[in-house]
Amino acid sequence: MSAPKTVLITGCSSGMGREAALALHRLGHRVVATARRPETLADLAALGMETLALDVTDEQSMTEAVARTEELHGHVDILINNAAYGLHQPVELAAPEDVRAQFDTNVFGLVRMAQLVLPGMRRAGGGRIVNISSMGGRFSPPGGAFYHATKHAVEAISDSLRLEVAPFGVQVVVVQPGPTITGFGGTAVATMPGDSGPYGAFSAALADMYANKAFTRRSGAVTAEAATRVIVRAATVRRPRARYAIGAMARGTMIAKRLLPDAAFDAVMRASFPLPKAA
């Protein structure tokens, strides 16, 4: 293994963030695992990891977490921007404050974390930022407008950032998971509206799909451990690709989106997702 790196990871309370922290710690890296509720990281701290409170919607929290990491280790070698959740509501019904909260977590927090670690990376002459996007950064199904919009934004921001910081020796990598067996589906269902009026049957069918069908091995979802292997590769390989897709479904859907006319891809979405029905 190359020399140990200082790795700062957001969103380590569960899922891919937690698995990535464990995997990188086992490889001998100095992992700083963070979450909004640091008590959820007690088992990681017991293994010898540094754990910190970090809320990517709070400026002071982000600033203090990066400052503490730099105080301990000099600078951040690798930032893994993992913290995110999925807001799933019909566009017509989504409350503006819910949409803002979705972008605060998935986009603005990711950007601010990159801004905070980059000065140290530039001074050190290198570093790597791994942004966890989604196959949803390449298409948008019914009910997922705002979550997918944030992932489209992550893709665009990462493309610009990759070119801007390359002269300083900093690499930017995007990871695009497909459906993964984590708590994502349950969190998404919790954001769906209860009384949906004309979208009631649609919302109920979408909730059932996310709770019981979309995030299972039978449907083609990958395990968090399998996804983590790709994240670790993206974070540590000497010459990373710009993008790493995770899972056959992610690769196949993104290829279809790129190759099919819009009308044909819309037909794929209609066949794959529930839709509202007019009265």
- Is 272 marked active-site? no
pLDDT at 45: 96
Out of 5, 85, 134, 147, pick the active-site residue: 147
Three-state secondary structure of the chain: CCCCCEEEECCCCCHHHHHHHHHHHHCCCEEEEEECCHHHHHHHHHCCCEEEECCCCCHHHHHHHHHHHHHHHCCCCEEEECCCCCCCCCHHHCCHHHHHHHHHHHHHHHHHHHHHHHHHHHHHCCEEEEEECCHHHCCCCCCCHHHHHHHHHHHHHHHHHHHHHHHHCEEEEEEEECCEECCHHHHHHHCCCCCCHHHHHHHHHHHHHHHHCCCCHHHCCEEHHHHHHHHHHHHHCCCCCCEEEECHHHHHHHHHHHHCCHHHHHHHHHHHCCCCCCC
- Active-site residue flag, 147: yes
- Residue 1's pLDDT band, with cuts at 50, 70 and 90, is low
pLDDT in tens, 95-105: 999 999 999 99
Average pLDDT over residues 104-113: 98
Domains and CATH numbers, the chain: 6-272 (3.40.50.720)
- The whole-number average pLDDT for the span 196-206 is 89
CA-based nearest residue to 250, from 270, 225, 233, 230: 230
Q: Active site residue: 5, 151, 196, 203, which one? A: 151
Segment 88-109 mean pLDDT:
96
Q: What angle do CA 157, 235, 83 make, to 5 degrees?
A: 55
Q: Catalytic: which of 13, 134, 196, 203?
A: 13
Which pLDDT does position 50 carry in this prediction? 96
Residue 109 has a pLDDT of 98
Q: What percent of the chain has pLDDT over 90?
A: 82
- Flag whether pLDDT at 54 surpasses 70: yes
**Positive or negative: CA dihedral 219, 220, 221, 226:** positive
201: left (phi over 0), alpha (psi -120 to 50) or beta: alpha
| Residue from 5, 133, 134, 244 carrying the catalytic annotation | 133
Give burial (CB, 10 Å; 0-12/13-18/19+) of 116: buried
14 is a catalytic site residue: no
Q: What is the pLDDT of residues 219-272, one digit of tens each?
A: 778 888 899 999 999 999 999 999 999 999 999 999 999 999 999 999 999 999
In contact, 173 and 240? CB cutoff 8 Å: yes
pLDDT-derived band at 211 (thresholds 50, 70, 90) equals confident
Residue 44 reports pLDDT greater than 80: yes
pTM of the shown model: 0.94
**Both structure tokens of 156:** 């665009």
Encode pLDDT of 58-76 as tens digits. 999 999 999 999 999 999 9
Residue 164 has pLDDT above 80, yes or no: yes
Q: Supply the pLDDT for residue 219.
A: 77
